Amino acid sequence: MGSIPNKTKINSSELIWNDENALWYADQYGNHISNELTINSITIDPNDILLDIGCGIGAAVKIAAKRCNNGKVYGIDPIETMIKIAKKNQLTNSNIEFSIGTAENIPLENESVNKIISINSIHHWRDYKKGLSEVKRVLISDGLFFISSDIVNNNDCGHGPGPLQTNKDIVKELEIAGFKDITLRNYSLDDEGIHLVRCKKE
């Protein structure tokens, strides 16, 4: 049984994703303000087909689904416990579909969505380069990809050291992967805030 290293500040590289930790994480962070803040900071149209990679318990998916009520919202997460919680209060005839899946192997057809979001999840991807390739595969031409991270310490994304530690690192990797029109903006609500990177598929 893995233990949670620090219950006030999570380093994603240290957390072992067993059922116990997933339940704790869902309780502590599942409805975090970053979900609402991200969805409210991007343009979502009624007919959008949107994917949330690393959706957790589906908080952002459910907020987005109310805005693209004529479209579809997919939520994927590699942790079965998260998906079970996400499906718990889902309406039968909703425009939401939750499934187990990873960024490296997205369970969707080529060019099947026009917007993808990743809220505090890209740092959890096992192979972010393969994940970015998958993002490009399932996005339509000129489709939009949004990466949201909590504002923790200046430009640091708060998930510990690694190749995507800062927003500068993320932007650089997006450029290498061939995304265009990359922008970075900060948004805040009360005492919480997010870094939001926006880019477009070539």
Kindly indicate the confidence band of residue 138, based on its pLDDT and cuts at 50, 70 and 90.
Answer: very high
DSSP-assigned beta bridge partners for residue 193: 188
Kindly indicate the confidence band of residue 109, based on its pLDDT and cuts at 50, 70 and 90.
Answer: very high
- DSSP code of 178? T
Kindly indicate the confidence band of residue 94, based on its pLDDT and cuts at 50, 70 and 90.
Answer: confident
- Domain 32-200, CATH homologous superfamily name and number: Vaccinia Virus protein VP39 (3.40.50.150)
DSSP-assigned beta bridge partners for residue 150: 194
Per-residue pLDDT, 8: 40
Tokens encoding 92: 């039968």
Contact status, residue 177 vs residue 116, Cβ threshold 8 Å: no
User: CA 84, CA 194: separation in Å to the nearest integer?
Assistant: 27
CA distances from 30 to 58, 105, 167 (A): 8, 23, 23
> What does pTM read for this prediction?
0.86
Per-residue pLDDT, 24: 74
Average predicted confidence (pLDDT) for the chain: 86
Per-residue pLDDT, 164: 87
Contact status, residue 117 vs residue 60, Cβ threshold 8 Å: yes
Per-residue pLDDT, 39: 95
Per-residue pLDDT, 28: 67
First to last CA, the chain: 44
pLDDT average, residue stretch 76-93? 85
DSSP string, 65-114: HHHSTTSEEEEEES-HHHHHHHHHT--TT-SEEEEE-BTTB-SS-TT-EE
